Amino acid sequence: MKSYATKQDQQYKEEMEAHLRTIANQAPLTSIANGFAKYARRQEVTRFLARYEMFKMVQDIQGVIVECGVYAGQGLLSWAQMSAILEPVGGAFRHIYGFDTFEGFPGVHAKDLKGSTELGWKAGDLKCDSYADLSRCIELFDKNRFLPQMSKISLIKGDFMQTAETFLEKNPHVLVSLLYLDFDLYEPTKKGLEVFLPRMSKGAVLAFDEINHPLWPGETLALLESMNIRDVKIQKFPFEINMSYIVL
């Protein structure tokens, strides 16, 4: 599997890991979390800033935020923190929904392997069993925000190809202001567009994590089969390498 990481990237990771272990023995762990600008990788801070820019685009757009592909939950909690800070009252119904198997890819379509012999994605890849951790983080998050009596974040665990329709049956009221597609794969990405696009109004933001990416052809193919891209403007940030978005 091709990787774009360099030896310097690996060295940075190892040295920061060692430094964090040293600091963890000298100071409260919360001081590490609260000092994220000191310890987070530049790339993670960059992604947080990109999410902030997208969030600002939908502040006056009615609807929830849906993240398809949660992984460890950095994005999911970023949306929630932004809503809690920037719209503590007006965003009371700005619920954040996160979909993930938490068991890796449920399966891989032939279109996810198209175009390169280097692609060998398979079921179970990119597994991140973060469900218990995220559930606890959500509980703690609720203790430090306005209107904690109103639920803010929901995790929907399972294969999106099975959970999507059930979700809409249970939540027929849902409109979507921001749809962040980070499934990486063809089938769930196409399903996400199918079920949520009809619930997005003009001005809502449709975002992708891996379109136009050589390692993830399925995400681009799902977009091309679902929309005429000549009718929309696919934008990116000059400071972030992967994220793309469409303002509907």
Helix (H) or strand (E) holding 208: strand 205-208
* pLDDT band at 5; cut points 50, 70, 90: confident
Task: Based on the fold, state whether residues 207 and 184 are members of the same structural domain.
Answer: yes
Task: Based on the fold, state whether residues 112 and 57 are members of the same structural domain.
Answer: yes
pLDDT of residue 24: 87
**3-state helix vs strand vs coil in the chain, percent to 5:** 45, 10, 45
Q: How many CB atoms lie within 10 A of CB 60?
A: 10
Residue 144, classed as helix, strand or coil, is coil
Task: Based on the fold, state whether residues 8 and 69 are members of the same structural domain.
Answer: no
Task: Based on the fold, state whether residues 106 and 166 are members of the same structural domain.
Answer: yes
Express each pLDDT in 182-213 by its tens digit.
999 999 999 999 999 999 999 999 999 999 99
Task: Based on the fold, state whether residues 63 and 79 are members of the same structural domain.
Answer: yes
% of the chain residues with pLDDT over 90: 83
Express each pLDDT in 46-105 by its tens digit.
999 999 999 999 999 999 999 999 999 999 999 999 999 999 999 999 999 999 999 999
Task: Based on the fold, state whether residues 2 and 100 are members of the same structural domain.
Answer: no
Task: Based on the fold, state whether residues 20 and 101 are members of the same structural domain.
Answer: no
Task: Based on the fold, state whether residues 5 and 72 are members of the same structural domain.
Answer: no
Partnered with residue 205 across adjacent β-strands are 178, 247
| Position 10, amino acid | Q
Task: Based on the fold, state whether residues 50 and 129 are members of the same structural domain.
Answer: yes
Closest CA to 99 of 65, 140, 63, 48: 65
Structure-model confidence comparison of residues 122 and 178, the more confident one: 178
Structure-model confidence comparison of residues 16 and 203, the more confident one: 203
Query: What total number of domains does the chain contain?
Result: 2
Domain that holds residue 47: 42-247
The pTM assigned to this predicted structure is 0.94
Q: Which two tokens stand for residue 11?
A: 């060295």
Task: Based on the fold, state whether residues 13 and 84 are members of the same structural domain.
Answer: no
Task: Based on the fold, state whether residues 24 and 111 are members of the same structural domain.
Answer: no
pLDDT of residue 116: 62
Task: Based on the fold, state whether residues 213 and 236 are members of the same structural domain.
Answer: yes
Q: What are phi and psi of 223, to 5 degrees?
A: -65, -45
